[in-house]
Structure 1
Amino acid sequence: MAETSVVDNNCASSRDPDTGSLVWSPELEVCLFHAMIGHKPVGVNRHFHMICIRDKFSQNIGRQVPSKVLWDHLNTFYDIQALNESEVLPFPNTEWPFSLPEEIRAMRERKDELATWEGREGREGVERRKRGRPSGSTGTSSNPSSPGSVGGTTVVKRKR
């Protein structure tokens, strides 16, 4: 069945003259249900389906309607929360206990210690240490676990 993109005269929107909000007539509700054909606003993808419903509905009535208005009106017909809970997931969603590998935890602890140490010493102490380096030092290190190396490769720091 092909979808039409023409404004349906039966779905002409009516507004409340006082508030300017949408007044739900039986014709508008039929337009909403027509817009819902092929889209189920429950489950994991409910918000994506609601965007499609909103676009079709807005196109049919000839004016933009916020998704919140549609959610609120659907909540008067259905218990959307219960439908969401009863929806079967299209993929397995089992929870497994997780912890970071020991190497990652050790790197994070070293980083935290370094940040604490630099914070206590202040910026002046770090600058003093840089200037106090022997003239033959280029900032390289042969130790793969030292801060001057990354993943076993040596990083050369330029002096300014």
Structure 2
Amino acid sequence: MPRKVKACTSDTKWTTNKEIEFIFAMGNLKPVGINKHLYMDVITKRLSKALSKNVSSENNWSYLRTLYNLEELEKEEKLPFSNEQMEFKLDDDEYKYYKILSLKKVSLKKPSSAELSSDNNISLDGGLTEIVDSMGKL
């Protein structure tokens, strides 16, 4: 039987118990950076479960703003990947392969069993062997 969950409004006081549960709900999640909204959703669900109340993420964000300067933390957070723009360069071998595919308009679909049973000697790779062989001639 589902338990009853009380509503929690944004003007709810942050009691010591609620603060402790909030810290536990945060666990190893930092609500800053590229995944901040995903992490806050997890924190909100954990806190709601621990308090048996619906807690809004807006309430959690406003509480965090009283504890930390979130704007400064955002500036300090590093992206887990490079975000620099650079010129795209396709490798010559890849370019030749895709150029041949577009010129020959080869279908990469798997042949049907009827096509395989006929005496047409259709290869299972859909003609890719011919394309790869022709790439060596370029």
Give TM-score, length-normalised by structure 2: 0.55
Match of 2:51 in 1: 61
Deviation for aligned residue 1:97: 7.0
CA distance in 1, matches of 2:10, 2:63: 16
Shift of 1:14: 10
Q: Tell me the distance in 2 between the aligned counterparts of 1:73 and 1:95.
A: 36
Indicate whether 1:49 and 2:9 are aligned: no
Query: Is 1:78 aligned to 2:51, yes or no?
Result: no
* Larger-Rg structure: 1
**How far 1:28 sits from its partner (Å)?**
0.6
Q: CA RMSD in A?
A: 2.7
Q: Check whether the contact 1:14–1:23 (CA below 8 A) recurs between aligned residues.
A: no
Across the two proteins, how many residue pairs are aligned to each other?
A: 86
Q: Measure, in 2, the Cα distance between the counterparts of 1:92 and 1:60.
A: 38
2:25: which partner in 1? 35
Percent identity among equivalent residues? 32
Deviation at 1:39, TM superposition (A): 1.0
Q: Which has the higher contact order (CA 8 A, sep 6+)?
A: 2
1:21 to partner: Cα distance: 3.3
Q: Quote how far apart the aligned CAs of 1:51 are.
A: 0.4
TM norm structure 1: 0.48
Structure that is richer in helix per residue: 2
- Report the residue type matching 2:13 in the other structure: V
